[in-house]
């Protein structure tokens, strides 16, 4: 198994923990530098680890009893930079609501190698909406 394959397995496991309310494993995969960014599914954006980290904690805290499957549409891996374009089909209980809801997302991640390890440097996620046909 390549280091990239191992990393993407860790990423999926971390995302599944995230929708259970545990941000820790996902945060451990991020770069902690000032240039990281997140355009999260809940809106707005953050730049720099000092603001990305609490945003991740807050987002994970909104989930409980969650599940997630990741459909990779496209990825590219070079020596020190990589990207993935995915559909994350997820759901759970949000903000302690009694009902379970689905929350499919369109997601793009950017990664770079830091000290020999892959790290997330950007996440862009928004809610997947039904297709609208042109015309």
Instruction: List the chain pLDDT tens, one digit each, 135 residues.
Output: 789 999 999 999 999 999 999 999 999 999 999 999 999 887 889 999 999 999 999 999 999 999 999 999 999 999 999 999 999 999 999 888 889 999 899 999 999 999 999 999 999 999 998 889 998
Predicted model pTM: 0.93
Pairing of strands 37-39, 117-127: parallel
Domain spans in the chain, listed from the N-terminal domain onward: 3-127
Alpha helices in the chain (DSSP H): 3-18, 24-27, 49-61
Just give the CATH number of 3-127: 3.10.450.50
CB neighbour class for 64 (10 Å; exposed up to 12, middle 13-18, buried from 19): middle
End-to-end CA distance of the chain: 47
* CB within 8 Å of 98: residues ≥ 6 apart: none
Q: Bridge-partner residues for 74, per DSSP?
A: 85
């Amino acid at each position: 198994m390549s280091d990239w394959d191992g990393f993407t397995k860790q990423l999926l496991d971390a995302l599944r923990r995230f929708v259970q309310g545990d941000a820790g494993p996902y945060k451990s995969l991020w770069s902690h530098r000032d240039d990281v960014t997140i355009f999260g599914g809940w809106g707005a954006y953050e730049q720099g680890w000092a603001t990305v980290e609490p945003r991740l904690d807050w987002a994970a805290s909104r989930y409980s009893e969650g599940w997630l499957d990741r459909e990779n549409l496209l990825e590219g891996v070079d020596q020190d930079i990589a990207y993935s374009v995915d559909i994350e089909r997820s759901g759970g209980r949000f903000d302690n609501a009694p009902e379970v809801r689905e929350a499919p997302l369109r997601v793009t991640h950017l990664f770079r190698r830091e000290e020999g390890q892959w790290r997330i440097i950007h996440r862009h996620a928004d809610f997947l909406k039904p297709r609208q046909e042109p015309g």
